Each structure stands twice: as C-alpha cells, then as structure tokens.
Amino acid sequence: MAEPDASLHAEALAQLEAGRPRPALAAWRQLLLAEAPAVQAHLEAAAAALPADAIASLRSQAIALARALLAAEPGATEVAALGALLRGWGALCLAEVPARALQHLERAWACGPDSQLRQQLAQLYPRLGYGEGAWELGTPPPHTQPWPQQPCPAQACMTCAPQSSVDPELGLSLLPQGRLWVQRHTNPWRTSHGVAVLDRQGALQPAHCRAYPQPWPACPHRAQLEAQALALLPWAAQGLPPCQPLAGPVLALAELSAEQYFHWHAELLPRLGRLWPLVQAQWPQVRLWHNGGAAPWVDESLARLGITPQQRVAGPAHISAALLLVPGFAADAGVLAPANLAWLQAFWAVDHQPPQGRLWLPRGLTPRRAVLGESTWLQAAVAQPLGPGAVAAQLQQVAAAQAHIAPHGAGMINLFAAAPGAAVLELVNPAYAPPYFDRLTAQQRLPHRRLAAAPTPLPLQEWLYEGSLAWPIDLRPGASEAADALAALA
Amino acid sequence: MKPMNQLAVVLPMRNASAWLPQLLAALAHDWAVPFELVAVDDGSSDGSAQLLQRLCSHWPQQRWQLLDGGGRGVSAARNRAVAASTAPFIAFIDADDRPLPGRLARPLAVLQQHPELDHVHGGWLRCPPAGAAPHAVCPWLEGAAFDWQSVIEHKAVLPSAWTLRRSALQRVGGFDEGLSHAEDVDLLARLAASGSRGAWIPEPLVRYRVHPGSASGRLRQHLQGLIGVLERHLQGLAPALAPWAAEQRYSTLTWCCWQAWSAGQPQLALQLLQQALPACPYPLARRRVHLLEVFARSCRRVGQPWDRPALQASPFWRHACALIDAGPSHG
C-alpha cells in the first residue's frame, strides 16, 4: 500500500525539464522496478483494452516505453520514445487543456525539439503572457485565446465549502430564430465540452451556456469560472460546422458530457421528461434535439417517454430553429437535483421488494479507469454482478439489493433506484474521488462509504493516461484499504 | 495644536550643486504646503552646502535646515534628517530629481485624509539623458501593490515619489544604514512585512533623472545590492513559498541582466544571466522565451525603444542563448 515515490518522480521531472532526459528516464526506471507488480498489472490492463481504445496508438507507445525501461537501462531509443509520447499527449490536450499540453510539450523539448514543437509552443506561450518572447520559437497567433483557469482540484474543493446549492426552477426560454451549438472535444472521445445558446441577434444567453471547466456547487470562484466560460465559447465557435436551420418549434436540450450515462440520467433526461408533456401540449408539432447521442440507454429512455424517431432531430451540433425552446439547467453541472431525482424515480417506476444480497456494479477493463482485480472479487463471490440488459431491468436489480459495491464510474447514478437503507461501498482511485454521488446517497438515505484503491504507479500516471479521471481503480488483493475491505466480505 | 510643519522634506545630497537651483525652485512651487526642508550634505566637495545656504537664505528659518551627514551614505543621511525633524509626515527627494507640482501637496492630503495609510507613493517621469522624451512609470498599471509579496515581486519604489507617516518609518527603524544600494526596496519590504499599509497616488509626482552620475550609474554594485536585498527578504520562507521565491530570484536576476544590457554592458549582462540560471524555475524550452519577454517588458516599462529582431540578431543574444541552452551546469 506504499505511496509512489513522489520525490524520485519530482527529481526525474526536474532532470527532464532541465534538458537531461537520460537521468530522468533512469530515475523512472527505478520507480517502475520498485513497483513492478503494480506496473505490470496496469500495463496488462491497458494492453487488454487496446482494441476498444480511442487512443490505442498513444497508449501502445506508453506501454512499449514502460516495458523497455523495465527490461533495460534507457538509451537514445527510449529518449526518442519518451519525446514522441509526450508530444502525442501534448497534441491531444492542445485544444482544450492548454496547461496540460504545455507541460507535455515543454518536457518533450528535452528529448529533441523540431520546428513543429517550436511552433506548437509559440502558439501556447502568448496565452501565458509571453507574447513577445514566443517569437523566439515561432510565429505567435495574431489573436490570443484566453487561458482556461482550472477550478480547485475536486478533493480540495470539498473542504472549501459545503457542497450544497439551491436548485433553480426548471424554466423554458422561447427564442424565435434562436441558435444552439455544442462544442465537442477535439480529442477522440468527442464528448460535449461547451454549450452555447444564442438569440436571433447572435447574443449568447448566459443562463443557457456552459463550458468546462465547471465549478463545484458553492465554489467561491464560481462567478469567475462562469465568466471564463462565456469568454471561451466565442473561440470555440470558430471551429463549428455550418448551422442547420430547422423548421417549426424545436425543444433543444444540451448538457456538458451528455453522451455519458451519468450526465444523461442525472441531468438531461429529467429535464426533458419534466418538460416534454407540457411542451407537446402547447406545440403538438414540436421536435426534440439533444446532444446525448444514440446509445442504447438513450433510445430506451426516449421510447419510454413516447418520443418517436420522427419527433427527433438527429445529429447536427449546430442548429437554429424557427422557434427554439430551451429549458434551464435546473441544477449545477454534475448534480442530481431533488426534482430531477423524484422525476427519475417516478419515470422508471422501480418496484421495491424487500432487498437482499450484495450487488456489484461492474466497470471492467475499460480503456479509461479500468478496474484492476474486479474479476478476482467477483469470482470470490463478494457480490453478484449487475447483469447486462436494458436500463429498466438493471434498475430492478439495483432496487432488489441490500448492499452495493461500486467502482466510481460504474453507473452509480442507478443508485437512485436503490432500496432505502441499502449500503453503498464506493471504490475510488485515491487521486480521483469526486463527490458526485454524495448528494444522491444522502437524499436516498443510503449509508455510503468511500474506500481508496491502490495509487497509480508513477510515472504511468502521466505516460499511460490522459488524466487522473482515467487512472485505474486498482483492487488487486492486498494492495489497498479497498481490497482489504473486499477481502473481509469474501 | 498642529505643529507648524506637517511635512519634512528629506534631501540627502552629495555634489549636487548642478541640481539644487532647479530643485529648490520646484519645491517653492509647493510653498503653501507646510513643509520643512531638511537637507543633509553627505560629504560634498562641490560646495553644495554653501549653495543651498545661499539659495535658502531668504526662506524663513523654520522652513529649512542643513545638516552634516559626514559622508556616511544616503541611508544614514536620510535617517539623520528624519531624526532632526519633528513633522508627522516625511517626503523624500533626491537632489537630482525634480518634484512636479503637487509632489508635496497630494501625498500630504491623502495621508491626512486616510489615517489608515502609513505611506503613499506616486508615479514618476523617467527622463533619459540626451534629451529623449520622458516616460511615465506607473507601477500600479502592472499590478504593483504594497503587500509583502507584491513588494518583492515588483520592487516598485522611488524615494523621490514616496511619502511616509513618521510613526511607520520609526516603527521599522528607518533605512538600513548598512546598505548602500537598494536600501529603498529593503525599507519598503520591511514596512510591508510589518503590516504597514500603502497606496498609490496614480499620477507622476517627480521627474526622475537618468544619467551616468546617478546612483544607478554604478551598475554592478547597484544590481548586486538589489540581489542581496532580495535574498535577505527571501530567507526563512515557509516551504510552500519556495517555488514563488525561486521565481522571484530568477525574475530579479533576469531583470538585472536586462538592466546591464540596456546600459550598454553586455558582459555584465551575461554574467548576471549565468548567475541566474542555476536557480531557473522554468523548463529549458521556456527559458529563452522568458528572457526575451523580460527584455521586451522592461524596455516598455521605461519607455525604451524595443527592437526584437535586432536583439535576436545580436552577438549578445547568441551568447545568452548559448548559456541558456547549456543549462545550469555551464554557469
């Protein structure tokens, strides 16, 4: 359960940033060898997930570099491989997470700069205030895009202020010739990164606009971050597809990351469900546009709402409508508002029988936040795994369980259907444990424990994953307090 | 009852006869301000003391006094003048600078109206030699403030534009007489560390004359003095402030590098850069970029012409880049 040796890692980074990649790699080799079993488990999990991995090429490079270092002292080949890897991550982060991109690209410099790297940095540096200095590397852009300030890290933020907020009423704005667009991530996941709603004059409607990074509720920097979102959105508009005009009234719902199960269920679907009957009664010809994608759970939800395929507008990320109907957000980003929770429970009409047994919400060896050791615990019959199937059927399984074991990200939003009093054991990476489900479990009176899995080895944290939200939940036996707790249940 | 003189104007001088007539005439513009001039002759050999006596001979005796500083340096001279005066407010003026109208009246009014303030500082017009146009230096526009971290970051102080409450000055013991350079930065930092409150008067209050004969002409000693003062104030910081302190050290040294380059001393500039590099907190990729930015901003701050392509094509810049690319071990 030892923490990774952060001082050796810091020393390696300092060597790299000072232009000495070989000593840096030698220090990292030491770190990898010191945690060889954990490293091997992470590499194997990542390799197993490659066929489904949107960034398989980049992750393959990281796997190869780590394996090379495990096998031998670093040489010129490893220096070049490190440079290529860091540049790959830098390019991936460049558009939306410039701070991370800068870190990767500045470190890649030590492995050998070239004209492309110089130009990438010349594009970034003016945004940090080096408008004149950037000329040393290349040609800076004529206009300087704002540098997104990140909110406090989630865990620090939790101690900053009580995580409560007053949910606004679910209003509906009517915008004749209104326009809406969604900024997709430019990375391979293409999830929604920003949402903009404009009136016929092209003026942003702040109450309907959002962009990452988003503050937690009660964040003291909230106003600053919201202002930043409004400043960043016009830049995103430069890369939009052409606007698709739509006839008639269109109910348009967009959320950040709405393509993900959590955000669909916690935010988008309840807003839609609460308004759809009212809107349809007033505008019988209304059609629906949303940015939740076409996953099976989306189709199932819409069918259950009675929204036919003919009533849906598919696809475009940039629309205008003769009459654009835009609901308010009804809650802070990432928060399941009480009214939304009540609607979900009524909508899915879960039948509560006397609960029994433990249910495991599986996540498996996905490319992002893989759960290492999950199969071990399921084979040990710690809990019954949630079976595959439709949302409604899964929710019935959730409702029937007396206790839930859930790696963070394994569809915990389904706990809205849990039986009152059912215990929840949430398993998290120690570096990524956001309080998304605290409010839900509190509202549902579900006793909720959060246990930390083993930390992700250094330097794999930076080579193998796009950020802490993708770090695996390492439940290998004996490696963490979470694993110990599971062993006690076996 | 208020003492007659509300403001002591502290004037240390050494071989200042060339400047005294203009200086005293400018002070006389603020005659309505109840000030007392306290001049300290700090070892002049050009008859400055006699000239001052002559120029002030028609002033009422309670409006001026001349002291002998004994050649102990500017800090001791200023302290001596403060000790010899009784006014509740102290304005400093250096002999080669010229007060602008309001230099005395504006700060006095602000300090009298704001008892919570311990000191106020105005901007200044930087007047280069050879008749170049003056440039207004306005540190508040760059975010300079009077809390301790801001003082260390910006080091924005010019005694001739500075007015203090006597009690605040006495609380920190006045100028450090052991310092012959950057004693003003040191005093400002000690005031900030003691919790004193300062404010900007956002207008130029004085013409600051840049010429080879001024204190900053002795560049190497001046810059090393500044670096020493900074180091003194960065000692013993909490570990959490270590990264910030590293940035301050590096930014100060690179600014000194620019100062030497700007003064036509490229060898000194390269030596200062070498001195800076072992403590550089930036990744290798950023170091040239940062230095170029420091040069650009520093030039703009003082109204000096900025020609980036010319600098980048210069032998100096090639040497500087070679030092940077070689890394700290080269230094």
Give the distance from residue A467's alpha carbon to the nearest chain B alpha carbon, in angstroms.
21
| Over residues A26-43, mean pLDDT | 97
- Inter-CA distances, A459 with A4, A288, A293, A307, A454, Å: 9, 46, 35, 48, 15
Q: Categorize the per-residue pLDDT at B178 as very low, low, confident or very high, splitting at 50, 70 and 90.
A: very high
The pLDDT of residue A159 is above 80: no
Distance CA B199, CA B110 (A): 9
Cross-chain Cβ contact B289/A107 below 8 Å: no
DSSP letter, residue A169: P
CB contact B284 to A (< 8 Å) = yes
Q: Average per-residue pLDDT in chain A?
A: 91
Closest CA to A398 of A412, A408, A378: A412
List the structure tokens of A363.
């996540």
Distance CA A425, CA B16 (A): 81
Distance CA A15, CA B245 (A): 20
A chain contacts of residue B293, beta-carbon cutoff 8 Å: 129-133
pLDDT tens digit string along A123-150? 999 999 999 999 999 999 988 888 887 7
- HSE-CB of A92 using CA atoms within 13 angstroms: 22
Give the distance from residue B284's alpha carbon to the nearest chain A alpha carbon, in angstroms.
5
Closest CA to A392 of A351, A445, A364, A424: A351
Q: Is A306 left (phi over 0), alpha (psi -120 to 50) or beta?
A: left
The pLDDT assigned to A152 comes to 61
Final residue in a domain of this structure, among A112, A137, A154: A112
The pLDDT assigned to B98 comes to 96
Distance CA A394, CA A417 (A): 10
Q: Both A176 and A324 in a single domain?
A: yes
Cross-chain Cβ contact A105/B285 below 8 Å: yes
Write down the pTM of the prediction. 0.84
The pLDDT of residue B190 is above 50: yes
Which of B284, B293, B297 lies closest to A17 in CB terms? Answer: B284
Which of A105, A107, A135 lies closest to B308 in CB terms? Answer: A135
Q: What is the DSSP string of A407-457?
A: ETTSSGGGGGGSPTT-EEEEEEBTTB---TTHHHHHHTT--EEEEE-BPPP
Cross-chain Cβ contact B290/A109 below 8 Å: no
Cross-chain Cβ contact B308/A18 below 8 Å: no
The pLDDT assigned to A231 comes to 85
The sign of the dihedral angle between the CA atoms of B315, B318, B323, B324 is positive
Q: Categorize the per-residue pLDDT at A316 as very low, low, confident or very high, splitting at 50, 70 and 90.
A: confident
Q: What is the DSSP string of A1-66?
A: -PPP-HHHHHHHHHHHHTT-HHHHHHHHHHHHHHTHHHHHHHHHHHHHTGGG-TTHHHHHHHHHHH
The pLDDT assigned to A166 comes to 67
Q: With beta carbons less than 8 A apart as the criterion, state whether A244 and A319 touch.
A: yes
The pLDDT of residue B329 is above 70: no
Distance CA A321, CA B320 (A): 59
Residue reference for tokens 């620019």: B258
**Does A460 fall in a domain?**
yes
Residue reference for tokens 């036509």: B264
Residue reference for tokens 């400093």: B92
| Over residues B267-272, mean pLDDT | 96
Angle, CA of B264, B268 and B269, to the nearest 5°: 75
The sign of the dihedral angle between the CA atoms of B196, B201, B204, B207 is negative
Q: Both A43 and A179 in a single domain?
A: no
Q: Categorize the per-residue pLDDT at A220 as very low, low, confident or very high, splitting at 50, 70 and 90.
A: confident
Residue of A nearest to B294 (CA): A133
The torsion of the CA quartet A465, A471, A476, A478, rounded to 10 degrees, works out to 120
The pLDDT assigned to A154 comes to 47
Q: Categorize the per-residue pLDDT at B113 as very low, low, confident or very high, splitting at 50, 70 and 90.
A: very high
Distance CA B116, CA B111 (A): 8
Lowest mean pLDDT segment, chosen from A84-88, A430-434, B101-105: A430-434
Q: Both A317 and A182 in a single domain?
A: yes
Q: Both A324 and A422 in a single domain?
A: no
| Over residues B76-83, mean pLDDT | 98
List the structure tokens of A34.
């010191």
pLDDT tens digit string along B229-259? 999 999 989 999 999 999 999 999 999 999 9
Higher pLDDT, A144 or B289: B289
Q: What is the DSSP string of B5-71?
A: --EEEEEEESS-TTTHHHHHHHHHHTTTS-EEEEEEE-S-SSSHHHHHHHHTTTS-GGGEEEEE-TT
Q: Categorize the per-residue pLDDT at A164 as very low, low, confident or very high, splitting at 50, 70 and 90.
A: low
Which residues does residue A425 pair with via DSSP β-bridges, in sequence order? A405, A449
Which residues does residue A210 pair with via DSSP β-bridges, in sequence order? A195
B chain contacts of residue A20, beta-carbon cutoff 8 Å: 327
The pLDDT of residue A314 is above 90: no
Q: Both A270 and A380 in a single domain?
A: no
Q: Both A105 and A229 in a single domain?
A: no
Q: With beta carbons less than 8 A apart as the criterion, state whether A212 and A194 touch.
A: yes
DSSP letter, residue B228: H
Residue of A114, A127, A136 for testing the chain B interface, max B β-carbons within 10 Å = A136
| Over residues A86-97, mean pLDDT | 92
Q: How many domains does chain A have?
A: 3
Distance CA A149, CA B174 (A): 42
Closest CA to A83 of A101, A60, A62, A107: A107
pLDDT tens digit string along A35-66? 999 999 999 999 999 999 999 999 999 999 99
pLDDT tens digit string along A227-256? 888 888 888 888 889 999 999 999 999 999
CATH at residue A471? 3.40.50
The pLDDT assigned to B212 comes to 60
Question: Residue A197 is which amino acid?
Answer: V
The residue segments making up the domain with residue A259 are: 172-329
**Does A465 fall in a domain?**
yes
Residue of A nearest to B298 (CA): A132
Q: Both A314 and A445 in a single domain?
A: no
Distance CA B128, CA B237 (A): 38
Question: Residue B303 is which amino acid?
Answer: G
Which of B284, B296, B306 lies closest to A19 in CB terms? Answer: B284
Which residues does residue A176 pair with via DSSP β-bridges, in sequence order? A323
Q: Both A237 and A376 in a single domain?
A: no
Final residue in a domain of this structure, among A277, A299, A329: A329
Q: With beta carbons less than 8 A apart as the criterion, state whether A59 and A50 touch.
A: yes
Q: How many residues does chain B have?
A: 331
Cross-chain Cβ contact B283/A136 below 8 Å: no
pLDDT tens digit string along A349-391? 988 888 899 999 999 888 999 999 999 999 998 899 999 899 9
Q: Is B118 left (phi over 0), alpha (psi -120 to 50) or beta?
A: alpha
Q: Categorize the per-residue pLDDT at B116 as very low, low, confident or very high, splitting at 50, 70 and 90.
A: very high
Give the distance from residue A483's alpha carbon to the nearest chain B alpha carbon, in angstroms.
34
**Does A476 fall in a domain?**
yes
Cross-chain Cβ contact B312/A136 below 8 Å: yes
Which residues does residue A323 pair with via DSSP β-bridges, in sequence order? A176, A249
**Does A391 fall in a domain?**
yes
CB contact B221 to A (< 8 Å) = no
Closest CA to A396 of A358, A355, A424: A355
**Does A446 fall in a domain?**
yes
pLDDT-above-90 percentage for chain B: 89
A chain contacts of residue B296, beta-carbon cutoff 8 Å: 132-133
pLDDT tens digit string along B194-223? 999 999 999 999 999 987 644 445 889 999
Q: Where are the alpha helices (DSSP H) in A143-221?
A: 154-160
Q: Both A363 and A311 in a single domain?
A: no
Query: Highest-confidence range of A104-108, A219-223, A379-383, B208-212, by mean pLDDT?
Result: A104-108
The pLDDT assigned to A216 comes to 73
The pLDDT assigned to B330 comes to 31
| Over residues B131-140, mean pLDDT | 90
Give the distance from residue B264's alpha carbon to the nearest chain A alpha carbon, in angstroms.
21
pLDDT tens digit string along A330-343? 888 888 888 999 99
Q: With beta carbons less than 8 A apart as the criterion, state whether A205 and A175 touch.
A: yes
List the structure tokens of A61.
């490079």
DSSP letter, residue B306: -
Final residue in a domain of this structure, among A112, A140, A156: A112
Cross-chain Cβ contact B288/A136 below 8 Å: yes
Residue of B nearest to A113 (CA): B285
Q: Both A424 and A294 in a single domain?
A: no
List the structure tokens of B228.
């020493």
Q: Both A473 and A355 in a single domain?
A: yes
Phi, psi of A324 (to 5 degrees): -95, 120
pLDDT tens digit string along A389-444? 999 999 999 999 999 999 999 999 999 999 999 999 999 999 998 888 888 899 89
Task: Count CB-CB contacts under 10 A for residue B115.
Answer: 8
Q: Categorize the per-residue pLDDT at A30 as very low, low, confident or very high, splitting at 50, 70 and 90.
A: very high
Q: How far is CA B96 from the centre of its chain?
A: 13
Q: Both A353 and A315 in a single domain?
A: no
**Does A88 fall in a domain?**
yes
Residue of A132, A135, A139, A144 for testing the chain B interface, max B β-carbons within 10 Å = A132
Q: What's the complex ipTM?
A: 0.84
pLDDT tens digit string along A68-83? 999 999 999 999 999 9
Which of A17, A132, A133 lies closest to B283 in CB terms? Answer: A17
Residue of B nearest to A122 (CA): B289
CB pairs under 8 A between A and B: 60
The pLDDT assigned to B150 comes to 97
Q: With beta carbons less than 8 A apart as the criterion, state whether A445 and A421 touch.
A: yes
Distance CA B192, CA B198 (A): 8
Q: Categorize the per-residue pLDDT at A3 as very low, low, confident or very high, splitting at 50, 70 and 90.
A: low
Q: Set out the domains of chain B in order of their start, with CATH numbers.
A: 7-215 (3.90.550.10), 236-330 (no CATH)
Residue reference for tokens 């204190």: B215
**Does A131 fall in a domain?**
no
Element (H, E) at B162: strand B162-165
| Over residues B84-113, mean pLDDT | 97
The percent of chain A in helix, strand and coil, each rounded to the nearest 5, is: 45, 15, 40
Cis peptide before A459 (omega within 30 of 0): yes
List the structure tokens of B273.
């850069």
Which residues does residue A428 pair with via DSSP β-bridges, in sequence order? A452
Cross-chain Cβ contact B293/A135 below 8 Å: no
